[in-house]
Structure 1
Amino acid sequence: MSGAFTENEEEIEAVILDFFSKLYTKERHEEWEVEGIEWGIISQQEALNLEIPFSEDEVWCAINGYGGDKAPGAHGFTMEFYKEFWGLIKKDIMNVMEDFQRNGVVSAITNETYIYI
């Protein structure tokens, strides 16, 4: 569509979708860099500690570490929802955490955030 004019809604939608998909998507092969962190080799004990299941306390602390008004995920819930209803949903959240530790993969939808314009 580069510079072309159109009134076709499908073409307009496709261009907008393509633009924002490229803008908010990163290639999987990109390496992340965090300034000020040494990525040295970990000890045997540190490696073993990575295998320990997440505790409910750890998950709760992580949830509380997020701002409650951040953009909602694909499911429509903000972090404030998780804080408010932790007593009701903690069992389900802990199941997601256990599934992650067992399979080593987080569902793509779990890690989505929608940006509303």
Structure 2
Amino acid sequence: MANAHKKSNWLRKIKINEVWCTEENEIQESVAKAFQSLLSKPSDWHLSLAGLDFDRLGNEDAAKLEVAFSEEEVFLALCEQNGDKVPRLDEFTIAFWQFNKDFVKEECIGFFQRIP
């Protein structure tokens, strides 16, 4: 399929820095050099967050971020997931975990307890 599209996916000519390029290898080299030049130049523009106002967590809410997940939170999050998803390629679907939550409870809780 790639060969079928190759005939229609090419440039006959391109103008780079006021110079027309018409040969295939010349086009490839010119485009590569143009992008390399664009991406290697240091920019004068820098992201600035000055003047932006962000909401901040209070001490009590910030401290809650350090508390371990409760068993109820883990299983509520598990039950809210779409059943056809798979956490990892070598794992069961979420539906399996939802259906067997009593059987796999300790493994789920253990996973969240290992998170630093």
TM-score (norm 1): 0.49
Larger Rg: 2
- RCO higher in 1 or 2 (8 Å CA, sep ≥ 6)? 1
Going by fraction, where is strand more abundant, 1 or 2? 2
TM-score (norm 2): 0.50
